[in-house]
Structure 1
Amino acid sequence: MASELRTSENPRKWRYTWEALSHVPTLRLLLFNSSTNPKNQCENLKIDLNLQESVVRVSWFEDTQVSLRVPIPRVLVDVESPLSFRVLDDHIEVKLVLLLPVDHPIVSNFDSVFKLSDDECCTENSSQPLLMDSDIKGLSSRGGVHFYCRSCSTQLTRSPLSHFVEMPSTNWREVADNWFGACCCSFGGASEKLVNRYTNSYSCAEGTCLLNATSVILCKDDLLGWKFSDWDGSRANEFETYFVGDGDTIETTLESGSNHGRKVCCENKSEVMHEFDGKHSIMHPKKENLAANPQCEFNGKEIDGDCISCTFSVLDFSENLASAPACCVDTSCVVLNDDNVDCSHDMSDTCLKDQEHTKTIALPENQKSFLNGFLGNVFMVRSSNLSKDIDWIEFMCPQCSSFLGSYPHGNGHAPLDGGVRLFKCYISTSLPVGESGDMFRKYTLERMFTNQLLESAKDELSFRTVVRDLRTKSPVLQIVLLNPNSWCCSGCCWGTEGSIEPVSKIDLHPVIKVLFADCSNITKSQSRIIEEWVTKNLADEVYMLTHQINELIESLVSAKDILPPSHAFLQGLPLSSMQR
């Protein structure tokens, strides 16, 4: 019979798509061809299940007899249950009954459960979750890691990196405030201390790689073949303002290459010198002001509320201040605002008694933007972490100009914090790119976006999202999440004439089903409609770079084609899927 069967002129015009839902033991097959109406053209349709070849055979008469083979994904089919099918205007639908749902652990681990040999195993399962723990452990265990451009394999780092640190979650300040209280009087300003420590601890340092779910953050000095012309490399004339009590302000001028500073006590306009001798910091009034203010004597004992003198050990500075129950801590300054505080003794014995006027300590300009927890997850920025003072510049490969990530620009500095964010989906940790040694081979823009989208939907309890351009703040992409627990795979059907080639093994991949709308070229009136939709539906708002959004739109449009036309739209919006 097989010798009598003919294929159509090009059997690959026929496409197949397998679909399943988590926890549901049913597998659905959609067969379609854009130039064929199966209901009118496929006469005497016959469908057989051939488990020995792991295929579904489909045959019908269309002038001549046509036969196709469709590979079956690795699932446990219930052979005692008959398959069912129906013929529609633009596709053929076939349903198989399964012994176990597709997401059952036995099905997910076929290789280990059935102890298949290397030849029998499929390629590496790309549906494995993207886990930060495995990234940290894998990178740290290698001793030294270079990063490479995934497009052209160009080495991006000057020397191997061996120190990898996981970034805290983006809501770490909110967590600290909820745990300890937002007021600096609560538990000695514990929340504020943690905030400042996090901000200082997670600065970009040469030789250290910071990681989050989507990016690696490298110090600019670790990058090879790239110059940041906007970075002046100097900390000269940088002013920091510290608040002391109500209206008392101390300003510090830091001079590049100098170990001297100058502080001004603004309450009574008396000047105070702040000197460093390498081991101690001595703050005392200038000699010419002692005569004008006889009550302010530099003996460490006679101190009034307008002028304070203090000696402390720089080496023990942060630890001693951290133990002070009422002191807001920053590693660059100490705030003293109590008239009765005796600062003549060592800071380890210091206890600030009056908490009433304690205010926050300002951080350097290049760290202020991180106070709200925005430590650089620019892959998808939430509204709460958006900063008006930062512009994000796209970072390109110095060799092939491929998009790799971004870095912050602000206050005349680029990168603002000295760090460049490289997205994991565009870089590799070894050569050749994409092989087993590449720790980021499983990362794609689509999977990273999907994981962020699901996390956002879970946190915000919203299944509607508008993606805005990070630069213009305009809406560019609308997404409505329909089903986060689908499984899918698709491809071209095989013919049966000549020598029958063995059918490649295929796997179902976890996907989400979404409705989407490309808003990149909308009019002003359409933009107002979208803004009304956002307000009415309490849609979640996220911000992404232009390059990323364009790539996501292309992916959504492409994935839409794996479904027949009757399944391509719902409620007037295109229906598509994205791998998770």
Structure 2
Amino acid sequence: MSPSSSHSPSPLNPSTHPWRFTWETLAHIPTLRLYLFRSPTPTALSGASASASLQTDRSLLFVSLTYQSGDVVRLEVPVPRVLIEPDEEVQCVVRSDHVEIKLSLVLPVDHPVVIQYRAAMGFSGDENSVPISLNDDLKSLSSGDVNLYCKSCSTKLTKEPLRHILQMPSLNWRDVAENWFGNCCCSFGAAAEPGFSFEILSGPMYKSAVPNVDSCNCHDNAEGPEEVAHTSDMHDLNHTTSNCIVSNDPDRSNRQNLYFGGGFVHNDTNISKDVEWVEFCCEKCSSPLGSYPYWKDRGNTGTIDGGVRLFKCYISTSTPVGGSDDVFRNYTVQNLFSNLLLESAEDEVSFRTVVRDLKSRKPMLQLVLLSSKAWYMSGTCIENHATGPDCQVELQPVVKVLFSDCSNSSEADIRLVENWSTKCHAEEVYMMTYEIEELKNSLSFGKQSMPLSCNLLQGMHLSWLNSHGF
């Protein structure tokens, strides 16, 4: 028995190796492409033939695959809601380990007419296709008092509701905060508030002013505005004691000149060998909520700049988590990172990215952006007239990437990655370990939605990351 046949599942045994489908289309291209393949173990299709017919009233594509042995597999594939050209023939080609089918569209899925039509019809699932808007977030958060909750266990994180949430006009929020609050951290515009703690919600960022029932000690200084340092138990947002102090700090100028950023993703401009970033976790379930910086030579005695960066992919603004009232329900590590890739591409900085561990500085991921505007959907086919309800599928907005996991690479392979980064002028970003692992898991899951023969290119895997376009 040949090696290939020993690993090929029986074509008529779908129980352990089901047929999968993946629909894909790209911006401005009126073509919908379908991939059919066995997963996780591919089937050799040498000598096989296939035919396909479309049943528009049921939104189903029927595919008949005949093996060289004479065995026949019949597949039913749900078709996403797109404008298919009815007079065009369905193109069907058998590849080495998959079947590739093309449908012609009347208009590309990103055409304004199609977008307006879908909105008018109120198709389900379109919420995921709407770009996440910073202005919409601000409008929702400004409509009333807001509490924050852990997205993993629904634990309430705020002792009192947030009453003032403002968009930060600059990522360098420390300089801006001095302009807003002046010499005293108790002033908020024209109205005085009894003490504020500051949280930054990362990606895009907010500054939230949280009224605190405890004391605020402010000291005048003739030299001008002083650093506002919030001292508290940084591992408990829902705390009972805190103080806000203004003091002469010898490191003040260094703090102001150092760009700390939002904590989720860092680049070379806000990386310092003197600063350590600590993961800020939920006290109840230990799930990550954000991060904060501290000086290495002083130990983890509290945040440098008085700020804890809360990541919107890990927190909620209402219970139940993910409900219609949750402003951050659509934020994930995937789409926050996708936004980073899109920004780099739009600014023509780079289509290549190296993700490094924030602590070790070692490369963890290599990425190449292939398409910033793609749509796809993947699932399992119905085989050989198996019973099952008709299902409707919706194309999801994604970015199409190539990636390579470098986390366990040898020193020689790491040197190759470093050379690749330098030669290709790759964008280098730094993330904390937990976020990198979550990103790696998403990329590894995404690569399973393509047949093996289409999955590798120049030693990197093809995958997808969910995107809302922002």
- TM-score with structure 1 length normalisation? 0.66
Is 2:35 the partner of 1:30? yes
- Per-residue deviation, residues 240-259 of structure 1 (Å, max 9, x unmatched): xxxxxxxxxxxxxxxx9696
- Per-residue deviation, residues 510-545 of structure 1 (Å, max 9, x unmatched): 222222121112233332222222222222111111
Q: Structure 1 stretch 541-550 or stretch 28-37: which is displaced more?
A: 28-37
Q: Give 1:78 deviation, angstroms.
A: 0.6
Q: Give 1:222 deviation, angstroms.
A: 7.0
Residue 277 of structure 1 is matched in structure 2 by none
Which letter maps to 1:523? S
Q: Give 1:24 deviation, angstroms.
A: 0.6
Mapping 1:39-438, distance limit 5 Å = 39-40=45-46, 42-43=48-49, 45-61=50-66, 64-114=71-121, 116=122, 121-141=123-143, 143-170=144-171, 197=179, 206=196, 210-214=200-204, 330-332=224-226, 364=249, 368=253, 371-372=256-257, 374=259, 376-410=261-295, 413-438=301-326
Q: Give 1:424 deviation, angstroms.
A: 0.6
Kept in 2: contact 1:147–1:429 (CA 8 A): yes
Q: Specify which of 481, 486, 489 is matched with residue 369 of structure 2.
A: 481
Which letter maps to 1:575? L
Q: Secondary structure at the match of 2:45?
A: helix
Once residues 287 and 343 of structure 2 are traced to their aligned partners in structure 1, the CA distance between those partners, rounded to angstroms, is 28
Q: Secondary structure at the match of 1:381?
A: coil
Residue 359 of structure 1 is matched in structure 2 by none
- Per-residue deviation, residues 257-296 of structure 1 (Å, max 9, x unmatched): 69688xxxxxxxxxxxxxxxxxxx7xxxxxxxxxxxxxxx
Q: Say what the alpha-carbon RMSD is for the aligned residues.
A: 3.4
Q: Give 1:549 deviation, angstroms.
A: 0.9
Q: Give 1:445 deviation, angstroms.
A: 0.3
Residue 21 of structure 1 is matched in structure 2 by 26
Which letter maps to 2:400? K
Residue 535 of structure 1 is matched in structure 2 by 422
Residue 445 of structure 2 is matched in structure 1 by 558
Which letter maps to 2:366? Q
Q: Give 1:203 deviation, angstroms.
A: 7.8
Kept in 2: contact 1:217–1:421 (CA 8 A): no
Once residues 370 and 287 of structure 2 are traced to their aligned partners in structure 1, the CA distance between those partners, rounded to angstroms, is 33
Distance 1:20 1:9, change over 3 A: closer
- Per-residue deviation, residues 197-233 of structure 1 (Å, max 9, x unmatched): 379699896266544534556679979xxxxxxxxx9
Once residues 218 and 401 of structure 2 are traced to their aligned partners in structure 1, the CA distance between those partners, rounded to angstroms, is 58
Q: Secondary structure at the match of 2:21?
A: strand
Size of the alignment, in residue pairs? Answer: 424
Kept in 2: contact 1:157–1:222 (CA 8 A): no
Kept in 1: contact 2:358–2:433 (CA 8 A): yes
Which letter maps to 1:72? V
Once residues 82 and 170 of structure 1 are traced to their aligned partners in structure 2, the CA distance between those partners, rounded to angstroms, is 53
Q: Secondary structure at the match of 1:126?
A: helix
Distance 1:219 1:136, change over 3 A: closer
Distance 1:460 1:60, change over 3 A: closer
- Per-residue deviation, residues 307-345 of structure 1 (Å, max 9, x unmatched): xxxxxxxxxxxxxxxxxxxxxx83359xxxxxxxxxxxx
Q: Give 1:481 deviation, angstroms.
A: 1.5
Kept in 2: contact 1:132–1:212 (CA 8 A): no
Residue 462 of structure 1 is matched in structure 2 by 350
Q: Give 1:139 deviation, angstroms.
A: 0.5
Q: Give 1:375 deviation, angstroms.
A: 5.0
Residue 547 of structure 1 is matched in structure 2 by 434
Q: Secondary structure at the match of 1:125?
A: helix
- Per-residue deviation, residues 113-140 of structure 1 (Å, max 9, x unmatched): 23x5xxxx42452122122111111111
Which letter maps to 1:376? G
Q: Secondary structure at the match of 1:447?
A: helix
Once residues 219 and 31 of structure 2 are traced to their aligned partners in structure 1, the CA distance between those partners, rounded to angstroms, is 72
Q: Give 1:472 deviation, angstroms.
A: 1.7
Q: Give 1:493 deviation, angstroms.
A: 0.8
Once residues 363 and 105 of structure 1 are traced to their aligned partners in structure 2, the CA distance between those partners, rounded to angstroms, is 57
Which letter maps to 1:40? S
- TM-score with structure 2 length normalisation? 0.80
Which letter maps to 1:138? S
Once residues 539 and 400 of structure 1 are traced to their aligned partners in structure 2, the CA distance between those partners, rounded to angstroms, is 37
Kept in 2: contact 1:15–1:490 (CA 8 A): yes
Kept in 2: contact 1:106–1:113 (CA 8 A): no
Once residues 43 and 225 of structure 2 are traced to their aligned partners in structure 1, the CA distance between those partners, rounded to angstroms, is 73
Mapping 1:453-532, distance limit 5 Å = 453-459=341-347, 461-495=349-383, 497=385, 499-503=387-391, 505-532=392-419
Q: Secondary structure at the match of 2:141?
A: helix
Distance 1:260 1:479, change over 3 A: closer
Distance 1:563 1:199, change over 3 A: farther
Q: Secondary structure at the match of 1:39?
A: coil
- Per-residue deviation, residues 130-178 of structure 1 (Å, max 9, x unmatched): 221111111111x1111111111111111111210112333799xxxxx
Distance 1:260 1:169, change over 3 A: closer
